[in-house]
Chains A and B, each alone.
Chain A
Amino acid sequence: MWATDNQRFTYSLVIWKNSSSIKETHHTVYSRDKINDLTPETTYCLKVQARLPILRKNGSYSPVFCINTTAEHKLPRPENVEVDAVNNNYVLKWNYPYENMNFEVQYLLGFYKRILSDYSDKWKVISGCKNITSKHCDFSKDITTDGIYYLRVQASNGSITSFWSTEKKFDTMIKTNIAPPSIKVIPSGDSFSIYISAPEESEKKLMSQNYPLIYEVIYWENNSNIENKLRVKQKLLKVSDLQPLTTYCFKAKAFLQDNKSNKSSQFSDVVCSKMTPGKLAVSWIIVICIVCLMMLVLVFYCSKVLLKQVKHIFSPSWKPPSSMSERFSDQPLKNLLVASEEQTESCIIEETNIVMLEETDQNGKSDVICSKQDNQDSGNFSNKDETSSSSKVTEEALQLETMPQ
């Protein structure tokens, strides 16, 4: 029934001394794992429970099994076995109470624990760490693929060999030093949006996904010493309830989520940002801008009208001779009367009274100007002498000349 799941089982072990009732529980135990730190020459009893983590299913406990521990071995096993990452080299370190001992270090590919109940023949010696006298071993050369490995070390004085030390699990994705995260602060409305980037997120090593990090964000007003702390798991957060138009400064550091190691990174760089003005202030600013714009438009319009009046007053007005006025009185005038003879012009009259005028003038004068038709009866147009050359495009309205009767 469980054939396809048999690699997914982990076991829970409960163990106690026969003479006492204090029970110790070990979780995530696999077949062939070792239980360490037992008292020698004592009877221990234990029972095991199978678990299927993916389904969070637990089986019943096995029957109780009791066994005696042997007499203490003459040579203790090495203790405090730890892995240190030093300059991209992996070094295994341990303690030993006696001097002048030889040590041997072995490693195991982690996946064997999943597939084999007996992996005792899969341990391999770390090259360069057989019969060494130092209490450390650089095993970088033997670990070439990223993955999970187990390491163990034993001591020997020539004639007697100790038992193997505890098996130290080593995940290559874990570094002992957590690099500081980086933060980006963006003011938005009445709060700040903080974006935290996990430390050293390079192409190959995504450390945070293996041993999840939590982040501590500290912020304060630029001129004060009062610090506010936030501990968050997510990388995007909002900080609100802040004073508008004040500068706030932020910094963050990363923690390993399981606080066993108490490891944290250094703080990131401090990032300061100013709050945007409050919503009320913004709307006021917008209103003021619109009002100013309207006023500008109004001023522009008025000045144009004024200018026109001024021109009207100071420049001569041209009136056609009475003979001509008789002739043309009945016809709606669509052409402009101009001074020069040879001329081609086209005036397009539009309702909006804006006209593009194109003319060629042999006399070098640009003659006709189309001006805006106003409600007054007297439509005037004026000739302007301009020094510019032949074709010219001007933008002014055409004034329909209706000869006063």
Chain B
Amino acid sequence: MTSWSLLPVALALLCSSTLCSLDCDLTLGLQEDFSLLNQMSTSSLVPCLKDGINFNFPKEAMDRSQLQKENATVIVLEMVQQIFTLFSQNTTPATWNQTQVIQLLIRLDQQLEQLERCLGQNVKWEEFSLRSEKTRFALKSYFQGISQYLQGKEYSPCAWEIVRVEIRRLFLFMSKLARKLRD
């Protein structure tokens, strides 16, 4: 848990002029996503703790990339895309509130489009993408790990509960990132 709490501290992001003018502000959207994720399952995590593993969030890669502030938006886009893919495969437990799962998908879809559009306007963002390719690859491996874990556990409700906890952390992380970008 300590590595997670250190992450936002490690990110000393300043608002770069190029990105500020993009208005890629997802702060509020991500917070609502987080609360939706909170509500969609009322199952207890306790019986599932034995199934828990460390997914190895690429902390170092993220820290390194924050030195180049422009990459942060590209990273948020990558993370939202991966979370969207995870939830879109129709493997979430039946006990979860399916309306809320759909709501999350709708929201993520809109946020993706928002990010793609506002990134697409910045002439330099191709540079950002290329520079952040290493980080994005690290993120892809991370999400692939989550996907394989779920597959291995046959998408059991317990496995999904563990993954839900992990994704909630991701939303908190992105929310803080977005707030730092905005301010």
Contacts and interface: CB of A to CB of B under 8 A. Distances in A.
B106 interface: yes
A111 B109 contact: yes
B106 A55 contact: no
B103 A208 contact: no
B110 A148 contact: yes
Nearest to B89: A115
Given A4-B82, A4-B85, A110 B109 contact: yes
Contacts of B20: 234
Contacts, number: 83
Contacts of A7: 81, 84-85, 88
B24 interface: yes
B46 to A, nearest CB: 31
B92 interface: no
B23 A212 contact: yes
Given A4-B140, A209-B114, A148 B109 contact: yes
B52 interface: no
Contacts of B105: 109, 111
Contacts of B143: 4
Interface string B119-148: 111000010011000000000100110000
Nearest to A52: B129
Given A146-B110, A208-B23, A209-B25, A55 B129 contact: yes
B81 A145 contact: no
Contacts of B25: 206, 209
B117 interface: yes
A233 interface: yes
Chain A contact residues: helix, strand, loop or mixed: loop
Contacts of B106: 109-111, 145-148
Contacts of A55: 126, 129-130
A306 to B, nearest CB: 62
Nearest to B106: A147
Contacts of A109: 102, 105-106
A260 interface: no
Interface of B (DSSP majority class) = helix
Residue in A148, A171, A257 with the greatest tally of chain B CB atoms within 10 Å: A148
**Chain A, interface size: which category?**
20 to 34
B72 interface: no
A191 B108 CA distance: 43
B21 interface: yes
Interface in B63-106: 74, 77-78, 81-82, 84-85, 88, 102-103, 105-106
Nearest to B88: A115
Given A4-B144, A54-B74, A111 B118 contact: no
Contact of A147 (B23, B109, B140): B109
A54 B137 CA distance: 13
A147 B126 CA distance: 27
B21 A114 contact: no
A282 B140 CA distance: 60
A4 B139 CA distance: 11
A53 B21 contact: no
A55 B77 CA distance: 12
A233 B21 contact: yes
B88 A114 contact: yes
Contact of B120 (A53, A147, A208, A233): A53
Contacts of A204: 28
Interface in B17-65: 20-25, 28
Given A4-B144, A110-B110, A111-B108, A234 B116 contact: no
Contacts of B21: 233-234
Contacts of A8: 81
Contact of A54 (B107, B121, B129): B129
A114 B113 CA distance: 11
Contacts of A206: 25, 28
B88 A111 contact: yes
Nearest to B140: A4
A330 interface: no
A234 B140 CA distance: 34
A300 B119 CA distance: 68
B116 A53 contact: yes
A171 B130 CA distance: 30
B107 A145 contact: yes
Given A4-B82, A4-B144, 17 more contacts: A7-B81, A7-B88, A53-B120, A55-B130, A56-B129, A111-B106, A111-B108, A114-B88, A146-B110, A206-B25, A206-B28, A208-B23, A209-B25, A209-B114, A209-B118, A212-B22, A234-B21
8 contacts: A54-B77, A110-B106, A111-B105, A145-B102, A145-B106, A147-B109, A203-B28, A234-B20
